[in-house]
Amino acid sequence: APLPLPDSARAASLPDAAFLARLKTLTQYYVVTAFLALLVGVLIGPLQALNYGGVNVYDTPILRALLKSYYQGLSLHGVLNALVFTQFFISGWLLYLPTRDLKVTINLRFAWLSYLMMTAGLLIAAVPLLLNQATLLYTFYPPMQGSPVFYIGAAIMVAASLLVAGQVIAAWVGWKRAHPGRVTPLVAFMSVATWMMWTVASLGLVGEVVFVLIPWSLGWVGGVDPLLSKTLFWWTGHAIVYFWVLPAYISWYAFLPHHAGGRIVSEPLVRLTFVLFLLNSTPVGLHHQYADPNISTTWKFIHMFLTFLIAVPSLLTAFSVAASLEDAARARGGRGLVGWIGHLPWGQPVFSASVLAMVSFIVGGAGGIVNASAAFAPVVHNTAWIPGHFHITVGTATTLTFMGTAFWLIPHLTGKRLPSVRLASASVWTWFIGMMVFALGMHWQGLLGVPRRALVSATTQDVYREMPIRVPALLTAISGMILLVSALLFFYVLFRMLLSRRVDDSEATTPIPYSEAISSAGETLAGASALVRLTEPLLALWGVALLLVLLMYGPVVARLLAEAQLVPGWRLY
């Protein structure tokens, strides 16, 4: 039976066309700012790939004029790509989607305020980065010390993301109040769970920046405990990878089946996946610190097992999205054990971007499990293997999915058209090929002992020029050139699209590509399965997530605090 809805609550929150237009403009600002950051960040990548190919271009007059050092470039690359591009895209994406999915209005002034604050934070942090006052790499480990302006800018940026989180969670709570007994629609559910996860995850970084780095860089306290800071950093630093990839999962689950011509396999399963991420994304960060002293092996092993556990929702995703794709391909006439794969729309960039991103993630995820295994970690830690791992996770699973998303999202938001399916498709395939070759070259070099974060091309030691390393080094250099071409193609298509003329209002021509479900979660809780009812109370699950993190990090941080040893800051750049 239809549930009674308070009319007043409903009427007050129903979005009209004017509201939607304004929401779309704001979302467009987030997305375009994100891609501008990616443009600058990505252009530095091929130079680094050349470095790992044995070619040092940093001694040329142009680069000497632009960058003080390899490390200034690497800091810009890491910060702009991994921190700025992702956060802006995700904030726009995960503000727009749940607002639309819940069919509510939100306070657009507040939403703009968050955007402006995030942009201000970015601009503030950019100044010291560009002036070589914050050449700290994107992990800014103390005792390396940068300008306080950098830490303050970063803090403002993160705070702004929490405002977006708060606004989305509040909108969902308002929707729940107005619709008692109803099941949260899937896309909104995934978005809210992701934001909740991020609030728990970000506590470590907020603690580090606000209570340690800012006072220390301003000279208010005499020293810093590097290990304490690093531990707080990885509290956030691992979970942030799920903040980067879950918005791509939303696209894989909710929109990719539609692009392929198929259906979501099971909405209750998707909800379970996101709840597992909410609960267990954060208390695993010690897998970045196996080599660090003064953290007990017991805690390292607990985090290792929790890391293996957090691979489970990704495995659920792998199998259930693969089933969606098979469903789609068979509906398109595909036959045979693997023959159906050829019936997927490989020439459509909105489709191929996500699926190729997923294919790269099979390898990226497997590498992650190697990294997490205490027995293997010493072999790969701090080697070129690690950038190999994360360019096929954040650099492809996330980035390529967002690139492909832009091909329908920008037309949807702006009423403009994708100028060329062929060029868009070429950019997607070259990104995939380039990153797979890059990953091969870097993983291989890592196994041969080549360190990450090193200007290896300038070394006078022959050890990095020996024959076994030359093959993967050549692969890495070639991949950098493929990726340069890919990036140029992508940004050409993107800017041609953005600068073209508006052709329609797009709600009808490019709607949000929701997919149907084979097994839906249903509309009302009363008729829903136990799994749906168990996953619906997100506020309570959020509390459990917080509790778990405090349990799994409390004793570790407490010991580091009790035994803190402050050291002065360093400037190595």
- Enumerate the active-site residues: 238, 242, 389-391, 452-453
Q: How many CB atoms lie within 10 A of CB 461?
A: 8
Helix axes 421-447, 399-414, angle to 10 degrees: 160
8-state DSSP, 500: S
User: Is there binding between residue 76 and ligand HEM (CB under 6 A)?
Assistant: no
The only residue of 148, 285, 349, 368 in contact with ligand HAS, by rule CB under 6 A: 368
Q: Which is nearer to Cu ion, 184 or 282 (CB)?
A: 282
Helix axes 148-178, 108-130, angle to 10 degrees: 160
Largest CA distance in the chain: 77
* N residues, the chain: 573
User: Is there binding between residue 138 and ligand HEM (CB under 6 A)?
Assistant: yes
Taking CB under 6 A as the binding criterion, the range among 192-200, 320-328, 390-398, 407-415 that sits at the site for ligand HEM is 390-398
Q: How far apart are CA 272 and CA 523, in angstroms?
A: 17
**Residue 76 contacts residue 11 (beta carbons within 8 Å):** no
User: Is there binding between residue 303 and Cu ion (CB under 5 A)?
Assistant: no
8-state DSSP, 169: H
Query: What is the per-residue burial (b if ≥16 Cβ within 10 Å, else e) of 140-149?
Result: bebbbbbbbb
Tokens encoding 430: 């070259």
Q: How far is the CB of 50 from ligand HEM (least distance, A)?
A: 8
User: Is there binding between residue 469 and ligand HEM (CB under 6 A)?
Assistant: no
User: Is there binding between residue 450 and ligand HAS (CB under 6 A)?
Assistant: no
Tokens encoding 202: 């970000």
Partner that binds at residue 381, options ligand HEM, ligand HAS, Cu ion, none, CB closer than 5 to 8 Å by kind: ligand HAS
User: Is there binding between residue 287 and ligand HAS (CB under 6 A)?
Assistant: yes
Q: How far apart are CA 275 and CA 244, in angstroms?
A: 16
Q: How far apart are CA 215 and CA 218, in angstroms?
A: 5
CA–CA distances in Å: residue 112 to residues 92, 156, 167: 11, 15, 11
Residue window 128-167: x/- pattern of binding to ligand HAS, with contact defined by CB under 6 A:
-----------x----------------------------
Tokens encoding 530: 């136990």
The only residue of 288, 343, 412, 416 in contact with ligand HAS, by rule CB under 6 A: 288
The only residue of 398, 457, 479, 515 in contact with ligand HAS, by rule CB under 6 A: 398
- Name the residue type at position 528: A
Helix (H) or strand (E) holding 87: helix 86-102
Q: Which is nearer to ligand HEM, 247 or 480 (CB)?
A: 480
Helices first, then strands: H and E counts in the chain: 22, 2
Query: What is the per-residue burial (b if ≥16 Cβ within 10 Å, else e) of 361-389?
Result: bebbbebbeebbbeeebeebbebbbbbbb
**Residue 441 contacts residue 472 (beta carbons within 8 Å):** yes
Q: How far apart are CA 431 and CA 484, in angstroms?
A: 9
Q: Which is nearer to Cu ion, 175 or 234 (CB)?
A: 234
Residue window 226-265: x/- pattern of binding to Cu ion, with contact defined by CB under 5 A:
------------x---------------------------
Residue window 306-345: x/- pattern of binding to ligand HAS, with contact defined by CB under 6 A:
-x--xx--xx-xx--xx--x---------------x----
User: Is there binding between residue 446 and ligand HEM (CB under 6 A)?
Assistant: no
The only residue of 114, 314, 399, 445 in contact with ligand HEM, by rule CB under 6 A: 399
**Residue 241 contacts residue 156 (beta carbons within 8 Å):** no
User: Is there binding between residue 441 and ligand HEM (CB under 6 A)?
Assistant: no
Partner that binds at residue 341, options Cu ion, ligand HAS, ligand HEM, none, CB closer than 5 to 8 Å by kind: ligand HAS
Tell me the number of residues near Cu ion by CB under 5 A: 1
Tokens encoding 270: 């998707």
Partner that binds at residue 48, options ligand HAS, Cu ion, ligand HEM, none, CB closer than 5 to 8 Å by kind: ligand HEM
Q: How far apart are CA 454 and CA 380, in angstroms?
A: 15
Q: How far apart are CA 51 and CA 455, in angstroms?
A: 6
Residue window 320-359: x/- pattern of binding to ligand HEM, with contact defined by CB under 6 A:
----------------------------------------
User: Is there binding between residue 32 and ligand HAS (CB under 6 A)?
Assistant: no
Q: How far is the CB of 66 from ligand HEM (least distance, A)?
A: 17
User: Is there binding between residue 260 and ligand HAS (CB under 6 A)?
Assistant: no
Angle of CA points 496, 500, 502, to nearest 5°: 145
Q: Which is nearer to ligand HEM, 90 or 454 (CB)?
A: 454
For 27, residues 6+ apart whose C-beta sits below 8 A from its C-beta are: 92, 93, 95, 96, 413
- Burial tier of 177 (Cβ tally within 10 Å: 0-12, 13-18, 19+): exposed
Q: How far is the CB of 330 from ligand HAS (least distance, A)?
A: 12
Helix (H, G, I), strand (E, B) or coil at 567: strand
Helix (H, G, I), strand (E, B) or coil at 521: coil
**Residue 439 contacts residue 478 (beta carbons within 8 Å):** no
User: Is there binding between residue 49 and ligand HEM (CB under 6 A)?
Assistant: yes
User: Is there binding between residue 368 and ligand HEM (CB under 6 A)?
Assistant: no
User: Is there binding between residue 453 and ligand HEM (CB under 6 A)?
Assistant: yes
Q: How far is the CB of 52 from ligand HEM (least distance, A)?
A: 5
Tell me the number of residues near ligand HEM by CB under 6 A: 25
User: Is there binding between residue 487 and ligand HEM (CB under 6 A)?
Assistant: yes
Q: Which is nearer to Cu ion, 192 or 248 (CB)?
A: 248
User: Is there binding between residue 302 and ligand HAS (CB under 6 A)?
Assistant: no
Partner that binds at residue 68, options Cu ion, ligand HEM, ligand HAS, none, CB closer than 5 to 8 Å by kind: none
Q: Which residues would be at the binding site for ligand HAS (CB under 6 A)? A: 139, 241, 244-245, 287-288, 307, 310-311, 314-315, 317-318, 321-322, 325, 341, 355, 358-359, 361-362, 365, 368-369, 371-372, 377, 380-381, 386, 389-390, 393-394, 397-398
Q: Which residues would be at the binding site for ligand HEM (CB under 6 A)? A: 42, 45-46, 48-49, 52, 74, 77-78, 81-82, 85, 137-138, 387, 391, 394-395, 399, 452-454, 480, 483, 487
Q: Which residues would be at the binding site for Cu ion (CB under 5 A)? A: 238
